[in-house]
């Protein structure tokens, strides 16, 4: 179970096809369309029209992904996204009529994994949802289907199997699915320059992101989480005209250790 301040991922959905999806949308026509599209593709959607109704439902039921409208009657979608992201890594897709880059970037900065602008293409929406669910549940093609051993860098521990990150004191750090995939890619390619194109492929599962700058937003959030309070970033360095490079020495942790 999860409170309104602590959303968790549903534990019974093993594959993207039968995932439980919560749609928070006050436009009933749009909500009906989304619900129909999701049902037609084998998902199990639930619909609520306000933040209050969402909070109540999240106390009783877990979900694998949340679709969140930006403009709700009782609370701004950005505020909801920030609140959910404080304690949960459940995938969040922002859905809104606003298409300006500043709104997209702000949503990503607050922890949204992706952004869909109304009116949207139903097939594209389904593709984005499936890509997010594959990453969140460990089935992303970019990550591979094999179980990977945990890795350690500068005292931090990242586990591809449980998709978890712990700081040197063992405290779990919440990451969005996109942030986790990017950090894992860095760990698997430590010392190598990763281009934005490579990172976009990893962060969006083959689907073009809302804006290319979303990669910079994700990396900015990762930096703040693994180097809190730093005046300059030493773990993820920007390479001019090249992309980014992860500098720590990464060690594979043997099973049982």
Domains of the chain, residue spans: 20-137, 151-252
Global pTM reads 0.60
Q: pLDDT value at position 160?
A: 84
CATH class of the domain whose range is 20-137: alpha beta
Helix or strand (DSSP H, E) at 193: strand 193-194
DSSP β-bridge partners for residue 152:
157, 251
Classified as helix, coil or strand, 161 is coil
**Assigned token pair, 16:** 């993207």
Mean pLDDT value across residues 144-161: 78
With a cut of 50, say whether residue 217 has pLDDT above it: yes
CB 159 within 8 Å of CB 256? no
**The residue to which tokens 């702000």 are assigned:** 106
Q: Which residues of 144-167 are buried (b: 16+ CB within 10 A; e: fewer)?
A: eeeebebbbbeebbbebeebbbbe
- In percent, the amount of the chain with pLDDT more than 90 equals 35
CATH 1.10.3720.10, domain 151-252, yes or no: no
Helix or strand (DSSP H, E) at 114: strand 114-117
DSSP β-bridge partners for residue 1:
none
Q: Of 114, 106, 4, which Cα lies nearest the Cα of 52? A: 4
What sign has the CA pseudo-torsion 98, 100, 101, 106? negative
With a cut of 80, say whether residue 213 has pLDDT above it: no
CB 110 within 8 Å of CB 82? yes
For 33-79, write each residue's pLDDT tens digit.
Answer: 999 999 999 999 999 999 999 999 988 888 989 999 988 989 988 88
Q: pLDDT value at position 140?
A: 38
Give, as one character, the DSSP assignment of residue 74: S
With a cut of 70, say whether residue 101 has pLDDT above it: no
What sign has the CA pseudo-torsion 160, 164, 166, 170? negative
For 2-23, write each residue's pLDDT tens digit.
Answer: 333 345 444 333 445 578 999 9
- CA 31 to centroid of chain Cα atoms: 22
CB 65 within 8 Å of CB 22? yes
With a cut of 90, say whether residue 131 has pLDDT above it: no
Neighbouring C-beta atoms of residue 211, cutoff 10 Å: 14
- Indicate the range of 3-7, 112-116, 171-175 predicted with least confidence: 3-7
With a cut of 80, say whether residue 211 has pLDDT above it: no
The C-alpha atoms of residue 186 and residue 92 are separated, in whole angstroms, by 23
With a cut of 50, say whether residue 161 has pLDDT above it: yes
Neighbouring C-beta atoms of residue 29, cutoff 10 Å: 8
């Amino acid at each position: 179970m999860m409170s309104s301040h602590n959303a968790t991922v549903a534990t019974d959905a093993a594959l993207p096809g039968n995932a439980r999806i919560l749609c928070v949308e006050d436009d009933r026509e749009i909500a009906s369309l989304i619900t129909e599209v999701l049902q037609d593709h084998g998902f199990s959607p639930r619909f609520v029209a306000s933040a209050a109704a969402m909070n109540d439902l999240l106390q009783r039921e877990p979900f694998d992904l949340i679709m969140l409208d930006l403009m709700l009657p009782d609370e701004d979608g950005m505020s909801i996204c920030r609140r959910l992201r404080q304690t949960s890594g459940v995938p969040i897709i922002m859905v809104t009529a606003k298409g300006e880059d500043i709104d997209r970037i702000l949503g990503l900065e607050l922890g949204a994994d992706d952004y869909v602008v109304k009116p949207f293409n139903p097939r594209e929406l389904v593709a984005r949802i499936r890509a997010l669910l594959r990453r969140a549940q460990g089935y992303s093609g970019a990550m591979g289907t094999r179980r990977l051993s945990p890795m350690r860098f500068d005292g931090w521990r990242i586990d591809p199997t449980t998709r978890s990150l712990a700081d040197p004191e063992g405290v779990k750090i919440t990451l969005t699915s996109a942030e986790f995939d990017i950090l894992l890619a860095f760990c698997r390619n430590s010392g190598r320059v990763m281009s934005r194109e490579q990172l976009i492929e990893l962060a969006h599962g083959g689907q073009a992101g809302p804006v290319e700058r979303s990669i910079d937003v994700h990396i900015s959030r990762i930096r703040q989480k693994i180097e809190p309070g730093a005046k300059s970033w030493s773990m993820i360095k920007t390479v001019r005209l090249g992309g980014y490079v992860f500098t720590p020495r990464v060690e594979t942790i043997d099973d049982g250790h």
